[in-house]
Each structure stands twice: as C-alpha cells, then as structure tokens.
C-alpha cells in the first residue's frame, strides 16, 4: 500500500478541482436509470458468487499451510491480472461486451458448481479457485467498463452507485455461506452461489441492446468519452467564457 501511495503521488498528474460538488444522495438517485440499476444488480449477483468463493473456498482445501494457500492465490491473482489487462480487451473486441460477460459469468457459475459438487476433493477446489482468476479478471474489467459506458450520469456518480450496490453482495455472501454450511453442508453455499450468478446472466440480457450500442459508439471516430464529459461539464457552468471557448475549439478539432 505504501508503494501504491508513493506511485500515485509521483506518477499521476494533478486533477482539476470539480466545478460542481456532488451530493450524498446522487449515487442513490442514479438508480432511477434502468441501465445503471441493472448493471449494478448484475454486479451484486456476481459479487455474491465471487465472495463466496474467495471467503469460503479456503476452508475446503484440505488444511493447506499458509505458504501453500498463498501459492494457490498467487496463481489466482496472476490470472486475474493477465486477463483483466490483456484478455478482457481482446475478448471484447472479438465478441463484444455482452457476449464476453455472458461467458465470464457462466464460467464463474460452472466453477462454483464444481466446488459445490466436489467439496470433499481438495484438488478440485484448488484448481477451480485458480481457474476462476481467468473469468474474474475478465468480468472485473468489462463490468466496470459497461457501467461507465451505458450510464447517463457522470462517471464518479456511476462508479459510486455501482460500488455501493455490488458490495452489498460482497458483504453478505461470506456470512451467508458460513451459516448455510453450518446448517446444511459445505456444498450448499457454492451451489446457491452458482444459481445466483446465473440469475445475473439473465438480468444482464435485459440490457443487451444498451451494451451493443455502447460498443458501436466506442468504435466510431470522434472525441473520447472523457473529452465529451469534460466539454459537457464546461458547458453546464455559467460565467466561464474562456473554458467554453477552449472546449469548443477542442470539439471543432475532433470534428476535423
């Protein structure tokens, strides 16, 4: 964390102070927008499965020592990093956001079901956890991208809304997994989590058109989403003629 802090201070350029202050209620009122609310709901259901796996699967690995357990999650984390940075963009370009997310969510559900069906076989649990890094990496990147691309509200608000909703699932899942395991057996939390994630696939399908439209827009030449956001923000602020001229010049440059 210290290295991350130093890198942030040294490498990132200063960001301008926002001209408009957001209110605490904006992330909640943003849920009125169907696409954002739906994507956030998908995030909640996905996080239910992900945190069930992350929080409870180590108990089914046959009592691994700390070094061995660390090695398992090192392999998992390595796959998360590789597929979040390299795999997700490649798959999105080849299959589109919606189809790639369908595959990632179904993949997570299959791995959760495998753990649930073979909860007494540590080797299966370990392999499933490591392989889940592939679909977790893809999903983490593309769901976040989808939220930003189809949301009609400013990006900071969209991010806050999505984070708030999805971590409800992340917070409840490990606790619920422990209760279910104690009451009815260790396999049940994973089987239920698999079903929950599949419900997320069905929910995601209701905004397929929004995702396809966002993909099509991203392929069109023109100003970036970030520049468009900045220009819109400048235009909404009265009494700043210099900034408005700069924004207009940038827009005309992009149109050329």
State what percent of residues in the chain have pLDDT above 70. Answer: 85
Owner of token pair 């592939």 = 134
DSSP 64: -
Q: Which of 24-28, 36-40, 122-126, 174-178 has the lowest mean pLDDT?
A: 24-28
Q: In Å, how far from its chain's centre is CA 111?
A: 18
Q: Where are the domains of the chain?
A: 34-218, 221-256
User: What's the rounded mean pLDDT across residues 133-161?
Assistant: 88
pLDDT number for residue 244: 40
Exposed, middle or buried: residue 251 (CB in 10 Å: 0-12, 13-18, 19+)? middle
Q: How is residue 122 written in tokens?
A: 């540590």
Q: Does domain 34-218 have CATH number 1.20.1250.20?
A: yes
- The mean pLDDT value of the chain amounts to 84
Q: Distances from the Cα of 199 to the Cαs of 61, 152, 155, 208, in angstroms? A: 27, 25, 26, 15
pLDDT number for residue 53: 94
Q: How is residue 135 written in tokens?
A: 């679909």
- The overall longest dimension of the chain from CA atoms, in Å, is 68
Q: How far apart are CA 68 and CA 65, in angstroms?
A: 5
Q: Pseudo-torsion of CA 133, 134, 135, 137, nearest 10°?
A: 70
DSSP 65: -
Q: pTM of the predicted model, to two decimals?
A: 0.80
Q: Terminal CA-to-CA distance of the chain, rounded, Å?
A: 44
Q: What pLDDT digit, counting tens, does each position of 54-98 carry?
A: 989 999 998 889 999 999 999 999 999 999 999 999 999 999 999
CB 97 within 8 A of CB 216: no
Q: How far apart are CA 39 and CA 44, in angstroms?
A: 9
Q: How is residue 252 written in tokens?
A: 């005309």
pLDDT number for residue 113: 97
pLDDT number for residue 222: 55
Map 193-216 to HEC letters. Answer: HHHHHHHHHHHHHCCHHHHHHHHH
Q: What pLDDT digit, counting tens, does each position of 153-190 carry?
A: 888 888 888 888 999 998 999 899 889 989 999 999 99
């Amino acid at each position: 964390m210290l290295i991350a802090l130093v890198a942030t201070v040294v490498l990132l350029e200063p960001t301008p102070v926002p001209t408009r202050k957001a209110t605490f209620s904006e992330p909640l009122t943003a849920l009125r927008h169907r696409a954002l609310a739906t994507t956030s709901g998908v995030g909640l259901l996905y996080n239910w499965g992900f945190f069930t796996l992350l929080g409870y699967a180590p108990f089914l690995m046959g009592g691994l020592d700390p070094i061995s357990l660390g090695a398992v999650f090192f392999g998992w984390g390595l796959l998360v990093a590789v597929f979040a940075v390299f795999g997700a963009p490649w798959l999105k370009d080849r299959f589109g956001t919606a189809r790639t997310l369908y595959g990632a969510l179904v993949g997570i559900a299959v791995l959760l079901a495998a753990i649930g069906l073979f909860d007494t076989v540590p080797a299966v649990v370990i392999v499933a956890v490591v392989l889940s890094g592939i679909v977790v990496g893809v999903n983490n990147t593309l769901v976040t991208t989808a939220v930003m691309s189809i949301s009609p509200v400013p990006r900071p608000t969209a991010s806050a809304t999505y984070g708030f909703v999805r971590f409800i699932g992340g917070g409840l899942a490990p606790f619920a997994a422990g209760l279910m395991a104690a009451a009815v057996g260790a396999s049940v939390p994973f089987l239920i989590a698999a079903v929950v994630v599949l419900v997320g696939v069905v929910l995601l399908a209701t905004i397929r058109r929004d995702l396809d439209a966002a993909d099509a827009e991203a392929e069109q030449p023109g100003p970036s989403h970030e520049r468009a956001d900045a220009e819109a923000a400048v235009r909404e602020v009265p009494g700043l003629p210099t900034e408005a001229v700069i924004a207009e010049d940038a827009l005309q440059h992009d149109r050329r």
